[in-house]
Amino acid sequence: MKRFKQAARHGVGALMSVLVLGASLAGCGGGGSQIQPFVPTGIIAFGDETSVITAQGNKYSENAVSATSTALVCQNNPIWTQIVATRFGLTFSECNPNNLAVPQGQSFAQPGATVADFQHQLDVYFSTNAFSGTTLVTVLVGANDILALYRQFPNLTVSSLEAAATTAGANLATQVNRAATAGAKVIISTVPDQGLTPFAISETLVRTDYNRGQLLTQLTTAFNSGLRLNLINDGHMIGLVLADEMLDSAVKYPSAYGFKDVIDPACLSTVALPNCSDSTLVAGATSSTWLWADNLHFGAGGHRQLGNLAQARATNNPF
């Protein structure tokens, strides 16, 4: 018993020595240094229509309108880039309800854009601008590349299309790395699984030569693999958002994400994006509880999920 008490006393003394040493190291800037949160002073959106806000404030989703008029309320039903911007108190010039003299957000995103178009968007930006260490860049592009490859089937084999999709993803990574090494802090999203879209469901029902939904999933997987394998693996520069995994989970467990419908488009088929609004939805649909706006694009509910992931990544990455 005496030996046990002596050992216990020695153990406590050793523990106190470790704690004192640890406190000394922390006080000298050792392992206890606190990471300062990243606070961007500006946000720039690149990519395709998923990130587009038109000059009139319309989005390629369900646009919110006033309850008492048909006036557009662009800050409501935000797209994913707006959710990220709002997290940091930033505003895009295309939706500036408070009439800020100098909005901190710019968008170079374009409807129908491909990876090659993203490269051009960067070229245009670099022609007159430079990134600072507090510039937050968002990128989402690749769905249009995948759909263009899909349309070449069956003239091209599945394996050749997958190889082309992988190359396209790798090319996207090259451009994202280019932005990051130029000083931007980049939030890049994988492409949502195109095999889970209402378009894919329709194609699978109509075309029986091959499981079309499966093909679109294969091409999406190949594209995202090319992207992920070639990105600079440095969280101080690039934060990756897994939109493909989020979509897969939302389709499997819709109620967990607040969705009532993850299959059908919410917008009337007679109203094309970006002109769809809360007043032009199919019977029973709401912008918040239906995943899709049209056959290929997220509705406000889908953007909410993607935006939440992206703003969490921008907040928690060691930028």
Does some domain include residue 29? Answer: no
With a pLDDT cut of 90, the percent of the chain lying above it is 85
Structural domain that includes position 117: 42-316
Give me the helix-helix angle, 158-181 and 143-150, nearest 10°. Answer: 160
pLDDT in tens, 220-273: 999 999 999 999 999 999 999 999 999 999 999 999 999 999 999 999 999 999
pLDDT in tens, 4-29: 334 444 443 443 343 333 333 333 33
CATH number for 268: 3.40.50.1110
Cα 54 from Cα 94, distance rounded (Å): 6
Task: Read off the pLDDT band of 35 (50, 70, 90).
Answer: low
pTM: 0.88
Residue 134 has pLDDT above 80, yes or no: yes
Structure tokens at 285: 């649909």
- How much is the average pLDDT of 185-197? 98
Does some domain include residue 10? Answer: no
Does some domain include residue 55? Answer: yes
Does some domain include residue 273? Answer: yes
Answer whether 173's CB lies under 8 Å from 227's CB.
yes
Does some domain include residue 156? Answer: yes
Does some domain include residue 25? Answer: no
pLDDT in tens, 84-122: 999 999 999 999 998 988 899 999 999 999 999 999 999
Per-residue model confidence (pLDDT) at position 69: 83
How many domains does the chain divide into? Answer: 1
Beta strand spans in the chain (E): 42-47, 105-107, 135-140, 185-189, 238-241, 261-265, 290-292
Does some domain include residue 57? Answer: yes
Plot region of 6 (φ>0 → left; ψ -120 to 50 → alpha; else → beta): alpha
Cα 66 from Cα 112, distance rounded (Å): 29
Does some domain include residue 117? Answer: yes
